[in-house]
Amino acid sequence: METVKYTVQEGNTLWGIANFFGADADEIISLNELKEPELIFPGQVILVPVSKPQPPRFYAVRPGDTLYGIASRYSLAVDDIVKLNGFANPNLIFPGQIISLRA
């Protein structure tokens, strides 16, 4: 089983994270030995089991992000992200914007 490290963001729930990655919440709980899975917190790093490592479907742009940096982080092509999101100007992304990384 492959795993990815995920840093919990404000507003995340364990079940939301599982859904986002297409993982099973109970497997995340077991893998991370979470005693109280409803008590995850921003900044906490958890392991998420995935059948095949792939980028998340969506990404929330953070301050300082660029499409090149995001693409590099997830081993994607900038052009693919641009096409998937229909960006008129790929140099104009902003913090808080949600972009698609895969279909």
Kindly state whether residues 42 and 80 are assigned to the same domain.
no
Kindly state whether residues 7 and 24 are assigned to the same domain.
yes
Kindly state whether residues 39 and 62 are assigned to the same domain.
no
What is the tally of structural domains in the chain? Answer: 2
What is the pTM for the complete model shown? 0.53
Kindly state whether residues 41 and 69 are assigned to the same domain.
no
C-alpha distances in Å from residue 12, one per residue of 72, 73, 81: 24, 21, 24
C-alpha distances in Å from residue 64, one per residue of 7, 31, 69, 70, 82: 17, 32, 9, 10, 18
Answer yes or no: is pLDDT of 53 > 80.
no
State mean pLDDT over 30-43.
93
Domain that holds residue 95: 58-100
pLDDT tens digits for range 77-93: 999 999 999 999 988 99
Answer yes or no: is pLDDT of 72 > 80.
yes
